[in-house]
Amino acid sequence: MTLKPFNFGKVAVLMGGQSAEREVSLMSGAGVLQALRSRGVDAHAFDPAGQPISDLKKEGFDRCFIALHGRFGEDGTVQGALELLGIPYTGSGVMASSMAIDKVMTKRILLAEGLPTPRYVLLRQHSMQAADANAVTETLGLPLIVKPAREGSSLGLTKVARAADLQEAVQQAGALDADVLCEQFVEGDEVTCPVLGSGSEARALPVIRIVAPEGNYDYQNKYFTDTTQYLVPCGLPDGEEAHIQQLVLSAFRTLGCRGWARADVMIDKVSRQPFLLEINTSPGMTSHSLVPMSAQAAGISYEDLCVAVLETASLDYQPATDARARPAKGATA
C-alpha cells in the first residue's frame, strides 16, 4: 500500500557529506527538504560531515532521503550504515551503489551483459609511464575522454585532443581518484534518461537532450550557468527515444538499482548507436538538475517527485519481525 506523506514518520534528508560534490549535495538537499515539508512531511536536514551517522537512530528518524552525491553517500558506505541501523533509505542498496559509482566496474558489468558502452583503458595515475600514454591513444584514438573512475558531476573530466595533453589530464583526474578512466570519445548527441521505481515497476522518464556551449558539459555548465540547453521533448529521430529508454531500463536492472537513478548516454552521430556512459544512483535535485526536469515533462512536479522517491525507501535486508524469523533458543549459527 502506498504510504501517505504523514505516515512517513520522521525523515532525515541526508545532504552535504564529505565528497568533492558537497556543494551540489547541499543544493539538492535544500530543495528536497523544502519540497517534502511543503507536502506535510516531518523532514529534517542531516549532514553526515557534521555529526555521526549513528545519531539518526538516537534522534528517532524513521527513514532517510539520500541527497548525498559521490563518495561517502552514493558509493554504498552510507547505505551499509543505514542497513546496520535498520533505517530505510531512498535509492539503490549497498551492492548496486558501490558498483554504479565505479565507472570501470559499471562498464565491465554492462559489457558482460552485452550492453553498449564506449571502449576504455584503465590507468593508475601514480604509475603511468610514457608508454602507457602511447598505448591509450593507439587503443582509443583521439580525441578521448579522461575522468576519475569514482567521481560525478564531471569533476576532473577532460577532453584530450592531443597526445601531448594526456599526461596532464590524467594527473588532474588522479588528484581525485587513483584510478583514472580513459574512454573512447563518442561524437554526437548527449542525452540523459531518469528511471523511477524498482524491478518490474520501474519506468523510464522522458529523455533529455543536452546541448552545452561548444559541447562542453562540465561542472560549471551543469550547475552554475544558464547557457546549456536542455531539450525535452528531446527531438530525436523516430524510435530513438524509446530505444534509449529501454536500454537505460536494462542497465538499471542489470546493476540491481532500485528506487530511482539517471543514466547518461551518447549517441554516435553517424551510426546512431547509443552508448551507456554511467548510472547515477543518487541524482542531483538542484534547480539545474535533470531528473526534476524530465519528471516535469511527464507531468510530475518537483514536490511530487520527492514524495514518490521517498515512498520507495527500503532496506536490502528487512529486520526480523516475528519469532519465526529468529533462531530458536539455544540454536547455534
Q: Is 282 a catalytic residue?
A: no
In terms of pLDDT, which residue wins out, 144 or 219? Answer: 144
Q: Is 303 a catalytic residue?
A: no
* Tens of pLDDT, residues 135-191: 899 999 999 999 999 876 578 899 999 999 998 998 899 888 889 999 999 999 999
Residue 221 clears pLDDT 70, i.e. is over it: no
Residue 326's pLDDT is what?
45
Give the active site residue among 264, 282, 289, 302.
264
Name the pLDDT band for 218 (thresholds 50, 70, 90).
Answer: low
272 and 187 Cβ atoms separated by less than 8 Å: no
Q: Is 262 a catalytic residue?
A: yes
Give the active site residue among 89, 262, 282, 294.
262
Burial classification of residue 123, based on how many CB atoms lie within 10 Å of its CB (0-12 exposed, 13-18 middle, 19 or more buried):
buried
Give the active site residue among 16, 17, 19, 21.
21
Name the pLDDT band for 226 (thresholds 50, 70, 90).
Answer: confident
Name the pLDDT band for 95 (thresholds 50, 70, 90).
Answer: very high
Q: What is the mean pLDDT of the chain?
A: 89
Give the active site residue among 284, 294, 302, 311.
284
Q: Is 74 a catalytic residue?
A: no
State the average pLDDT over residues 298-306. Answer: 98
CB neighbours (10 Å) of residue 277? Answer: 21
All 3 cell numbers of residue 309? Answer: 522517491
Q: Is 278 a catalytic residue?
A: yes
State the average pLDDT over residues 309-317. Answer: 95
For 194-237, give the DSSP string.
Answer: EEESSGGG-EEPPPEEEE-GGG---HHHHHS-S-SEEESS--PP
SS (H, E, C) 78-98: HHHHHHHHCCCECCCCHHHHH
Residue 324's pLDDT is what?
40
Residue 300's pLDDT is what?
98
* Tens of pLDDT, residues 63-92: 999 999 998 999 999 999 999 999 999 999
Give the active site residue among 19, 28, 153, 282.
153
Q: How far is CA 275 from CA 86, 141, 216, 247, in A?
A: 37, 17, 18, 9
Give the active site residue among 92, 280, 282, 294.
280
Could you tell me how many helices (H) and strands (E) the chain has, helices first? 11, 13
Give the active site residue among 89, 120, 223, 302.
223
For 274-322, give the DSSP string.
Answer: EEEEEEESS---STT-HHHHHHHHTT--HHHHHHHHHHT-B-SSPPP-S
d(CA 80, CA 315): 10
Residue 3's pLDDT is what?
46
Residue 35's pLDDT is what?
98
Gyration radius of the chain's alpha carbons: 20
Q: Which domains does the chain have, with CATH numbers?
A: 5-90 (3.40.50.20), 99-116+187-311 (3.30.470.20), 120-184 (3.30.1490.20)
Residue 131's pLDDT is what?
61
Q: If we measure between CA atoms, which residue out of 30, 84, 24 comes closest to residue 306? A: 30
Q: Residue 332: which residues within 8 A CB-CB, separation 6 or more?
A: none
Give the active site residue among 278, 289, 303, 311.
278
Q: Is 23 a catalytic residue?
A: no
26 and 16 Cβ atoms separated by less than 8 Å: yes
Residue 217 clears pLDDT 70, i.e. is over it: no
Beta bridge partners of 190: 210, 266
Name the pLDDT band for 126 (thresholds 50, 70, 90).
Answer: low
